[in-house]
Structure 1
Amino acid sequence: MVGISMVMRLDFFLAHGTGLSRKQVKILIGKGAVRVDGEERPKANTRVVEGQGVWLHDEPVQLPGHRYLMLHKPAGVVSATEDGEHRTVVDLIPAELRRDLHPAGRLDRDTTGLVLLTSDGDWSHRLTSPNHACGKRYRVCCADPVSDEDLQALREGILLRGEDRPTLPAEAERLSEHELLLTITEGRYHQVKRMLAARGNKVEGLHREQIGEIELDAELAPGEFRVLTEDEVASI
């Protein structure tokens, strides 16, 4: 629940929390898209007070300040704010909640899984900065069997084609003959695919499960999102 620190009209709160006009907000309230804790069909002049939560399309609304979301990215969607050819991760967020959002880090268009979106540039920088070495865990499906030698090479670091220094040591756990969990702390271009390619293997499926201490919510279907908890935001 998103707490209110003062008493104010619902339409005023929503306009400031979403960037929409008061007219747009009143239309949404009239359509039943807004819910206030303790009142299912509020009116524009409903007073919201401390301890109440406000939801728009079943997503909590906060007053101006930074927003933090997790998204279960489906295949075919690009990690960008806009793209002339493909749907973006921001396109999957309702228009009234998109203001100033950007993806903190990227996934390839064909890669699925956890993407974090925020309006907080400093938080995004901490998440992606090499100095913070934030681990990212992937479930990797390979065309060929993954050998013990492959696992050891991944754990020690691999010199990628066209580069002059090896990757940092990764955590690698084999799940089955063709599948492994791989945790890396860098974000080089197509890194996971290139690491396996350097071992003569091909990645056929790639899914990100975790960033730092934030795990993809198992209840989110591809294309769905939710607001991060305070603990999740503070973990970065």
Structure 2
Amino acid sequence: MGFIEYEKKGEIAYLYLNKPEKRNAIDSVMSDLFLEYLEEYKNDPQARVLIITGKGDKAFCSGRDLKESKDNPEAFKKKPLRGRLFNAIIETYKPVISALNGAAVGAGCEIALASDIRLARKEIKIGMPEAKRGMGATFGATILPKLISPSFAAKMLYTGKLVSSEEALHVGLVDELLDNQEQLMLRATEIAEEICECAPLSVQRIKETIWKTMDVPLFQALQLDIGPNVYESEDRLEGTQAFLEKRKPVWKGK
């Protein structure tokens, strides 16, 4: 079994961080595998939604494997996560759900931030302690203040303190809390199935629009035409016809 596992069940893909003995900390080998599977998901027309989670019950991901910085400093320097994993998650332009089965710390928190939907198990810890490690949390410092209160984001980042999943729900850092890992994965799959009922080109266009207009002034953003042209697609005709005929649409993704 690999340190990253990837599988598909119908239209839903699952990516598992599988190094529970090290709290799913990511080293260079794992980051390369992560990127390979993201690319596979991105290019697979049959895969509609990706769910990322961790193996074990202690951690979703405890961040970058800092031991690698001592044992293999060149690999650590040459393959920074911030410009690779997090951007790649966003730029799949297909939905990504993070199911936080345990602590999401540092890069683990940033993987969740790059995802479109974040679910978490109750009574876990989330945050970015980079300021306590002499690091920069570049991706987190960029995206977190856009997702939650800038002042709360600043407090998290400046102090490096972790917050509980209950507090994360309160501030909008996660979307739902589940009692245990089984319920977490069931809920993630349920949301993924709901997404799969929608037209794939529409979902892609919506995701691209969300991310690409995040910092664009409103009236400028409204003038943009982002993503695939769904208005001239076969699926638009099918969606209308299916609605009139009171049946489920059969999407072709074109």
Query: TM-score range with shorter-chain normalisation?
Result: under 0.3
User: What TM-score, normalized by structure 1, do the two folds share?
Assistant: 0.26
Structure with the largest fraction of strand: 1
User: What TM-score, normalized by structure 2, do the two folds share?
Assistant: 0.25
Greater relative contact order, per chain length (Cα 8 Å cut-off, separation 6+):
1
Larger radius of gyration: 1
